[in-house]
Amino acid sequence: MDTAVQLVLLTLAAGTPLVYAALGELVAEKTGVLNLGVEGMMLVGAVVAFIVAARTGAPWLGAIAGIAAGAALALVFAVVTLTLQANQVASGLALSLFGVGLSAFVGLDYVSVVIEPIKPLHVPVLADLPFVGALLFTWNPLVYLSLALFAAVQWFLFHTRAGLVVRAVGESPESAHAIGYPVVRIRYFAVVFGGACAGLGGAYLSLVYNPSWAEGITAGRGWIALALVVFATWKPSRVVAGAYLFGGVTLAQFQAQALGVEIPSQYLAMLPYLATIVVLALISRDVVSIRLNAPAALGRPFHPDA
Amino acid sequence: MHLRLEARTEPSRLARWLSPLVATFAVLVIGFVLFAAMGKDPWFALYTFFIDPVDTRYDVGELLLKASPLMLCAVGLAAGYRANVWNIGAEGQLVLGAVAGGGVALAFHDSTSPLVLPLMLVAGVAGGMLWAAIPALLRTRFNANEILVSLMLVYVASLVLSLLVHGAWRDPEGFNFPQSKLFSDSALLPNLIPETRLNVGFLIALVVVGVAWLFMRRSLTGYQMRVAGLAPAAANYAGVSAARTVWLGMLIGGACAGLAGVGEVAGPIGQLMPVVSPGYGFAAIIVAFVGRLHPVGIVFASLLMSLLYLGGEAAQMKLALPSSVTGLFQGTLLLFLLAADVFIHYRLRVVRRPAPVAHGA
């Protein structure tokens, strides 16, 4: 029983960075902006969070700094693509490459530094309940927060007027503009929100999941988050389910080693990437479903004067 | 009074070729500020980064040596990008090329036949194409996004290489280091200029760039690919198969990257190691854009990118600056380039009176 609880907790922990990054990207994509820079924003979020946590000794301050760093990087992307009308695919790639370079550069002196991580909660009384206590009331605060974020995004997008406007901007920016909505400003907000989430996802990695800094600590999670949004056919609940599924796959390599399975670690390390490819192919196969669910204006630039 | 972007009636050719220069200049300015902020003499640092690495014959050889894989990968990617095929996994295709070519070198380790090297090059090209065929197949058969698939395969490729050099292909006399045997002389690219490390791989790269130019400019297939990129609907109407375009764009990119990979292991590295490329496949994306997706532009852009690599190494040795500053400059270069590209399609107008409230449709 204990191992089962442990497995659930580990899966939640492994899926959480993906929940943050993919939910943020989902909101940006809902307004029609494809930001391929998630990996870069996560890395910069992770390194800035770690540096601030190491300097101040306050991991929560680090998390906030990670959010700000991700948002700042997203703002660069927004200026380049929304104001300067650059190609979104190329700019997103540029942002990822920039983030990889920037994070490696500023993080160099922090590679073997030890920090105080953000500790898991121990909800009084409830956490001591048998079974459910450990299962539900001993998570890390950032794991609870990720689910709160999911609920908020779901509610905002599908149950508020503002959410409707956001979705309209992603379906037909021309119509939204004609009715008088500030399309570019809405896209700015969505992109920066996506960056903030990616930054927090990165901060979770360096402050909670594996409290340390190493070059490329995200190991492609930003790209997997992008794939998750497609898997989920742009639905927040499926993003979360997919994130935990991939969290579980990531765990497989550690679990197999713990169980003493005699297989070179490289095979197991390949699993998340291969799983991403396979699931992406399976989901994308249904062209109709993708076309119906994808924001119609995804990746298409919009210039109000054009 | 405020500034307003106004659409040009025709794209500006001048802006198209000026923007790489503007972006390069911006990187120099950023470098100047950055070095000054780190307490280094910025002029000396810039000198160390951009002039010092190329002031001897040996150094120029190194510049051309590093530029070779960059221009190979970039020219292959550019063929795809022109056709709107977004292969961003050149790094993985490069690694597979190195694995395939290196496999041949190890299989014929005792052979002195002059055929070993050509066979390696063919195997490298095939390895790169095989790796690029996966996203092409998944895109054409299952509609899977080629950006994500090709990128995921970069991670898989490096794990495949790691698996081999830690296992089956590890040098039994290598003190347990994860490396293959050193390739025999018949498996190494001959030297091109004495007293440098430059090998004939550079000439091969130049030939490939020339062929790529002929292909994209002078062949019907190349023309169809460019049309497919500029106007997919028109290409479709004219009977150009979208699937064929994806396959071609991917395979050309894979072939070039695979050739670059085998060129590295048959050239400066001379064996298989866990890491055979300092991110050439990703830097080549930047090279392709800075070179305006044009073969001639790509040659110059690859020299610039090669200089960034060498400058990073020099800065590390002589200034105790982290060599990762190279990655920072690479990303900055591309971001500034894309930003400066706005002037290809728009011009800046100073509007003296407030813009009219009514929006033009």
Residues 6+ apart with CB under 8 A from A163: A155, A156, A157
Residues of chain B found within 8 Å of residue A223, distances taken between Cβ atoms:
148, 151-152
Residue A3 is which amino acid? T
Residue A197 is which amino acid? C
What's the token pair of residue B248?
Answer: 């071609």
Contact A108 B324 (CB under 8 A): yes
Residue B192 has pLDDT above 70, yes or no: yes
Which pLDDT score, from 0 to 100, does residue B153 have? 96
Contact B7 A303 (CB under 8 A): yes
Chain B nearest CA to A284, separation (Å) = 5
Which pLDDT score, from 0 to 100, does residue B359 have? 52
Is B4 or A240 the better-scoring residue by pLDDT?
A240
Residue A261 has pLDDT above 80, yes or no: no
H-helix or E-strand containing B5?
A: strand B2-7
- Closest to A281 (Cβ–Cβ): which among B7, B144, B329? B144
Chain B nearest CA to A190, separation (Å) = 20
* Lowest mean per-residue pLDDT among A160-169, A293-302, B319-328: B319-328
Average of per-residue pLDDT across A256-263:
74
B316 pLDDT band (50/70/90 cuts)? confident
Among B197, B201, B49, B60, CA closest to B120: B201
CB of B244 closer than 8 Å to CB of B265: no
Which pLDDT score, from 0 to 100, does residue A3 have? 78
H-helix or E-strand containing B16?
A: helix B13-37
Residue A289 has pLDDT above 50, yes or no: yes
Which pLDDT score, from 0 to 100, does residue B355 have? 54
Which pLDDT score, from 0 to 100, does residue B360 have? 45
- Closest to B285 (Cβ–Cβ): which among A93, A220, A287? A93
Rg (CA), chain B: 22
* Per-residue pLDDT reduced to its tens digit, A15-73: 999 999 999 999 999 999 999 999 999 999 999 999 999 999 899 999 999 999 999 99
Torsion from C-alpha of B99, B105, B109, B111, nearest 10 degrees: 160
Contact B339 A80 (CB under 8 A): yes
Contact B5 A220 (CB under 8 A): no
Which pLDDT score, from 0 to 100, does residue A29 have? 95
Average of per-residue pLDDT across A251-280:
82
Torsion from C-alpha of A73, A75, A78, A79, nearest 10 degrees: -110
**In whole angstroms, how far apart are CA B299 and each of B211, B238, B256, B288?**
13, 33, 14, 9
Q: Which residue has the tokens 């190991």?
A: A219
Domains and CATH numbers, chain B: 2-351 (1.10.3470)
Torsion from C-alpha of B326, B330, B335, B338, nearest 10 degrees: 160
Domains and CATH numbers, chain A: 2-293 (1.10.3470)
CB of B302 closer than 8 Å to CB of B258: no
